Amino acid sequence: MAAGGGPLVPRKREVPPGDWVSGERVFGPPAGTFDADWLVPVVREAAPDASHERAREAVVRVWAVLREEAALRGCAPADVPEDVVGSRLGSSDQPADRVDEAALTAVRAAVRAYGAR
């Protein structure tokens, strides 16, 4: 839960990617929070052909699936089986691709490292 008691949701970045501003986090998001923009560079490193927008969309989608499955299973997002999330990322119209897989890896690592719920 966020400090105000509401659920954690990815925040839309107000500054264009790559710009640094005063107070920018350089080590990671605060413990217990989730910031999709923090993970976009990690996804793009694993899938260099992905645009910023596509990488961010994949991160947001993975985070949403993790949270939904965690709520259904009564567990933490980090404890949702990877195959369950992977099966929900693809569809008959658009199967999961390298960007989705990179996002899944990045989001799971961030959730474990920073304790986002």
pLDDT of residue 32: 64
On the 0-12 / 13-18 / 19+ scale of CB atoms within 10 A, 30 is exposed
Tell me the whole-structure pTM to 2 decimals. Answer: 0.69
In the DSSP assignment, the letter for residue 27 is S
**Residue at token pair 């985070």:** 63
| Other beta carbons within 10 Å of 55 | 26
Cα separation, 104 vs 98, whole angstroms: 10
pLDDT digits (tens, 9 = 90+) for 52-66: 999 999 999 999 999
Q: Please report, rounded to a whole number, the percentage of residues in the chain having pLDDT higher than 70.
A: 64
| Dihedral sign (CA 53, 56, 57, 58) | positive
In the DSSP assignment, the letter for residue 92 is S
Question: Which run of H or of E encompasses 70?
Answer: helix 52-73
pLDDT of residue 117: 67
Run means of pLDDT, 10 residues per run, the chain, 117 residues: 49 45 51 81 94 94 92 91 84 73 91 77
